[in-house]
Amino acid sequence: MEEWKALPFAPKAGDVLCNLSDVREDGGKEVVLGEGDYSFRIVVLRWRGGVRAFRNRCPHTHIPMNYEPDAFHVLDGEVLMCAHHGARFRIGDGECFDGPCEPSRLTAIPVVVDGDAITVAR
């Protein structure tokens, strides 16, 4: 079992995270499940005609990758940059290729698009 699945408020297979129409072409959508210190944060990004989702938690500082809701630094549609310290991650596989958390990676959340709904894959 993937470690993230056991965390409080983690999404379950089949859960709808958001609508595709809510995800900006040049940015991302933040989905927050639960409340308080143990909330589970997800960043949903458009990528090469599809979507990718990751736990919104920088592996270097263990804080969200954004300052403001839905405000993510996406470079050329291929790179997600942490707003706090500039680490850069490939959207394709979540690997950090530049910054203090190199060579760690973001935790991928498997998703599928069904119509306009983005759901956690089964």
Could you read off the pLDDT of 33-48 as tens digits, one per residue?
999 888 999 999 999 9
Residue 1 has pLDDT above 60, yes or no: no
Beta bridge partners of 15: none
- Indicate the number of domains in the chain: 1
Report the CATH number at residue 15. Answer: 2.102.10
From residue 88, alpha-carbon distances to 22, 25, 62, 71, 76 in Å are 24, 19, 15, 15, 12
- Assess if residue 57 is contained within a domain: yes
- CA 56 from chain centre, in angstroms, equals 5
- 68-122 pLDDT, tens per residue? 989 999 999 999 999 988 999 999 999 999 998 888 999 999 999 999 999 999 8
- Assess if residue 87 is contained within a domain: no
pTM as predicted: 0.94
Say what the alpha-carbon torsion angle 18, 34, 15, 113 is, to the nearest 10 degrees.
30
- Assess if residue 96 is contained within a domain: no
- Give the H/E segment covering residue 111: strand 111-114
- Assess if residue 101 is contained within a domain: no
